[in-house]
Structure 1
Amino acid sequence: MDPDPVADEELLARAATEPAAFEPLVARHSVALHGYLARRAPAAADDLLSEVWLQAFAHRHTFDAARGAARAWLFGVARNVLARHWQRIARDPGPPPTEEQAASDPWQAVDQRLDAVAAGPLIHRKLTELPAIERELLLLVAWEGLTPTEAAAVVGIPAGTARSRLHRARARLRARLSNGTLNTLTGELA
């Protein structure tokens, strides 16, 4: 079921004074937000999703429909929660990942869809070579299905700037992945 952005915005606005109005947003967006988190921090995605909903609920009164859709606002909350997670890891990396956690690498799913088994690490390496903002925009549009305007709201830049950076990111990735085995992926990024 595709969420109705107008209804989402109305629910979020109502939730500022009627907390129960927030519940449908959780039902509508949990799968997409969990996917976003799982592709970036697979071992912590469940906990991070809980934190996203806690933060979104606590700050629901700060939503401003004039700045973008509710969906983009929720992805922005998720991005901030993820950034804090990575900052915590950088300060205290903790024990190395278990065998099960290492096996849940999101790139394995990419490998299964590609013609060449070795393409996953290459794509990962080439994505990490992109500037961080371009990589984030590309992943928000390609993986999360956000529009460039919604992705712009998530990362806090003007929509025109986001479209320009997204175009550059796609062009750079296409150039870096120009061999014939990756045509399917680069076609999806077009």
Structure 2
Amino acid sequence: MSTDNDIIRRSRDSPQVFGELYDRYASVIYRYAARRAGDFAADDVTSETFLVAWEQLETYDLDREDARPWLFGIATNLLRRHHRAEAKILRTAGKAALREAVADDSDRIAAQVDAVVATAGIARSLKAMAAIDRETLLLYAWADLTYEGIAVAMDVPVGTVRSRLNRARRTLRTRLNLEILDETENDHERFTAAPRNA
């Protein structure tokens, strides 16, 4: 099986070989783009990613065997154009999760309600996070890139990736813990403010 850098090297002389790289990674780029900006943008981002990659073929560092970080870097840059759509999806996911209706047995209902509340909280936390931290976190969680791969994709040092992921995790923990505390306080206020029967 050819390595990515071998495919890119051969593509420079034989353009049809580039199709091997597309076949190898189009589906993962599509899934990443769909998670970030929805299905409606994923097709465009995927095709644009490979168009840009084709146009930048001569600039690819042939010492790198794995082209995924390079491709995800291109896709991430393209997704920045779709940031409004991403923010809208996160906002919609948060609202939809809170509105989702549930029926049937109580154990399943409790589990689904917990999942709905958690999804809404995570969506709000991601939306409130700095875009650069969110992109780093999503490259790690959804694109399954290593710290080194994210560094290549974002063209930053590995230490910067570590800092951004640390900040993103801290933001998630803080926001989710605050939401839990707010819910607990609201529940406590409801119970203590209820009128007592004499």
CA contact (8 A) 1:67 1:153 kept: no
User: In structure 2, what is the Cα distance between the partners aligned to 1:114 and 1:66?
Assistant: 49
User: In structure 2, what is the Cα distance between the partners aligned to 1:144 and 1:172?
Assistant: 20
Per the alignment, residue 21 of structure 2 pairs with 25
TM-score normalised according to structure 2 size:
0.68
Relative to structure 1, the CA distance from residue 63 to residue 45 in structure 2 (aligned partners, 3 Å threshold; closer, same or farther) is same
Alignment of 1:163 onto 2:159: no
User: In structure 1, what is the Cα distance between the partners aligned to 2:93 and 2:154?
Assistant: 22
After TM superposition, the structure 1 stretch with the greater mean CA deviation from structure 2, 119-128 or 142-151, is 119-128
Alignment of 1:79 onto 2:76: yes
Relative to structure 1, the CA distance from residue 29 to residue 130 in structure 2 (aligned partners, 3 Å threshold; closer, same or farther) is same
User: In structure 1, what is the Cα distance between the partners aligned to 2:167 and 2:119?
Assistant: 21
Per the alignment, residue 117 of structure 2 pairs with 118
**Residue 86 of structure 1: how far off its partner (Å):** 4.8
Number of equivalenced pairs: 161
CA contact (8 A) 2:29 2:46 kept: yes
For structure 2, the 5+ residue unaligned runs are: 101-110, 182-198
User: In structure 1, what is the Cα distance between the partners aligned to 2:166 and 2:158?
Assistant: 12
- One-letter code of the match for 1:151? I
CA contact (8 A) 1:68 1:150 kept: no
Report the aligned-residue RMSD: 3.2
Relative to structure 1, the CA distance from residue 86 to residue 126 in structure 2 (aligned partners, 3 Å threshold; closer, same or farther) is closer
Per the alignment, residue 11 of structure 2 pairs with 15
User: In structure 2, what is the Cα distance between the partners aligned to 1:13 and 1:84?
Assistant: 30
Relative to structure 1, the CA distance from residue 113 to residue 39 in structure 2 (aligned partners, 3 Å threshold; closer, same or farther) is farther
CA contact (8 A) 1:76 1:153 kept: yes
After TM superposition, the structure 1 stretch with the greater mean CA deviation from structure 2, 134-143 or 68-77, is 68-77
CA contact (8 A) 1:76 1:155 kept: yes
User: In structure 2, what is the Cα distance between the partners aligned to 1:114 and 1:28?
Assistant: 39
CA contact (8 A) 1:134 1:169 kept: yes
Q: Which contiguous aligned blocks of 4+ residues in structure 1 show a shift greater than 3 angstroms?
A: 65-69, 84-87, 105-109, 111-115
Which among 28, 33, 47 is matched to residue 37 of structure 1? 33
User: In structure 1, what is the Cα distance between the partners aligned to 2:148 and 2:129?
Assistant: 20
**Residue 68 of structure 1: how far off its partner (Å):** 8.1
> For residues 46-85 of structure 1, what are the structure 2 equivalents within 5 Å?
46-66=43-63, 69-85=66-82
TM-score normalised according to structure 1 size:
0.71
User: In structure 2, what is the Cα distance between the partners aligned to 1:28 and 1:18?
Assistant: 17
Instruction: Render the CA deviation track for 1:76-116: whole Å, top value 9, x for unaligned.
Output: 111222234558x8xxxxxxx9xxxx8xx67779x999842
Per the alignment, residue 149 of structure 1 pairs with 148
Relative to structure 1, the CA distance from residue 67 to residue 24 in structure 2 (aligned partners, 3 Å threshold; closer, same or farther) is closer
Relative to structure 1, the CA distance from residue 157 to residue 119 in structure 2 (aligned partners, 3 Å threshold; closer, same or farther) is same
Looking at CA atoms only, which structure, 1 or 2, has the larger radius of gyration? 2
